[in-house]
Amino acid sequence: MNNNTNLIRKSRIGKTFMGIGLCLSVAFSGSMLLPAHPVHAASVSDSSVADRVIATGKQFLGVRYQFGAPSGRTDGFDCSSFTQYVFKQNGIDLPRSSREQSQVGTPVSKDQLQPGDLVFSDTNHDGVINHVSIYIGNGQLLHTYRVGIGVTVSDFAGSTWDHTFVTARRVISDNGQASGGQAAGSQASNEQSSNGQNAGSLDSNGQHSADASVTASSTSND
């Protein structure tokens, strides 16, 4: 009687261990079938030339406005020395003045602007381009103007630069070079008198004073 009881117990214990072993085997083999967690590698793709131009320009946010700032100087910019500098840092040579810059590259309509395009305005309403900005997307411009403001980001739509818009130019091509004209032109210190055109009257701060309607947001002629 005791022998039979012992045999039954041993049989039950054996079946129990077999069941546990089978469960572990199934669990282990199942885990082998689960997909491994993906390893996310950081993207190393190069940003576009326009992105780099904009990033370079934004490094100078808040830098003071200086009318007629020398080319290459970074402690003060006027609008065209700013654009000339940030494009130069990314392999694209531009002339020194806004009027000269408006003659290079490919013309672009206002409704076809892309980041990296140059936007030109005549804030004096005298038929002479006197300001250049960089379109950075989302309806915004990166530029510098007016003593006390300096390098900043401004909304384009409805602004002085929108109302006095003259042209826009695309100077970034697929290969990152100037896309039209001779971009490495004159290094004139400013645009005031090289072609005999009126640069407008300036007050002691280098701001235009002739047109009271735009004085608060106008640029100097650079």
pLDDT tens by residue, 102-131: 999 999 999 999 999 999 999 999 999 999
Tens of pLDDT along the chain (222 residues) come to 455 555 445 555 455 444 444 443 434 444 444 343 333 322 333 469 999 999 999 999 999 999 999 999 999 999 999 999 999 999 999 999 999 999 999 999 999 999 999 999 999 999 999 999 999 999 999 999 999 999 999 999 999 999 999 999 999 985 555 554 444 333 333 333 333 333 332 332 333 322 223 333 444 558
Specify the pairing of strand 106-108 against strand 150-155. Answer: unpaired
The β-bridge relationship of strands 165-170 and 131-137 is: unpaired
Say what the pLDDT of residue 191 is. 35
Instruction: Kindly state the tokens that stand for 105.
Output: 């590259």
As annotated, the active-site residues are: 79, 131, 143
Q: Residue 167 has what pLDDT?
A: 98
CB 180 within 8 A of CB 106: yes
**178 to 46, 50, 142, 211: CA distances (angstroms):** 19, 12, 19, 34
Topology, domain 47-222:
endopeptidase fold (from Nostoc punctiforme) (3.90.1720)
Q: Domain boundaries in the chain?
A: 47-222
Q: What are phi and psi of 40, to 5 degrees?
A: -90, 115
- Which pLDDT belongs to residue 173? 80
